[in-house]
A = this chain, B = another copy of it.
Amino acid sequence: MVHITRRERFSAAHKLAHPNWSNEKNHDTFGKCANPNWHGHNYNLWVTVKGEPEPLTGFVVDLSALGDVIKDKVIQHVDHKNLNLDVPFTKHLMTSTENLAIAIWNELENSVIKLGAELHCVKISETENNYVEYFG
């Protein structure tokens, strides 16, 4: 069993705020992340899949096919978008990094199986000082 990871990147706007809470309560809970006019990040996304290398190619999975799946299922929907307003699979959520990782796992899981591998981890960094990992 070998793990292989591909990184993709996206830049998006978001905020952390409950629509039915006051600005004060949102600011007390989420700090500067609650700014009503949004803020944004360059997100790094690492998708790790696992399996046995196919004897003829030496590949657990064709990395460019994995890249295409990540772009098709995730990146085109989130890159240069607003995670709270534009993205079908996140706009109903608190767009914490934790919830992003779970939502992206759900978008990818079946497509990775179709590539002949198993999804192992979705890792997202929001800044250089924090990241989240979800293992399903």
In-complex Cβ contact of A82 among B3, B11, B38, B42 (8 A)? B38
Q: A37-B81, A85-B37 are in contact. Are A2 and B133 (CB under 8 A)?
A: yes
Interface residue? A72 (CB, 8 A): no
Q: Does A111 contact B (CB under 8 A)?
A: no
Interface presence of A108 (CB below 8 A): no
Copies assembled: 6
Q: Which A residues have a C-beta under 8 Å from some C-beta of B?
A: 1-9, 11-14, 16, 18, 29-33, 35, 37-42, 48, 53, 56-60, 63-64, 79-82, 85-86, 93-99, 101-102, 127-135
Report B-chain residues with C-beta under 8 Å of the C-beta of A57: 16, 29-30, 94, 96
B13 touches A59 (CB 8 A): no
> Contacts A2-B134, A59-B96 known; A128 to B39 CB distance under 8 Å?
no
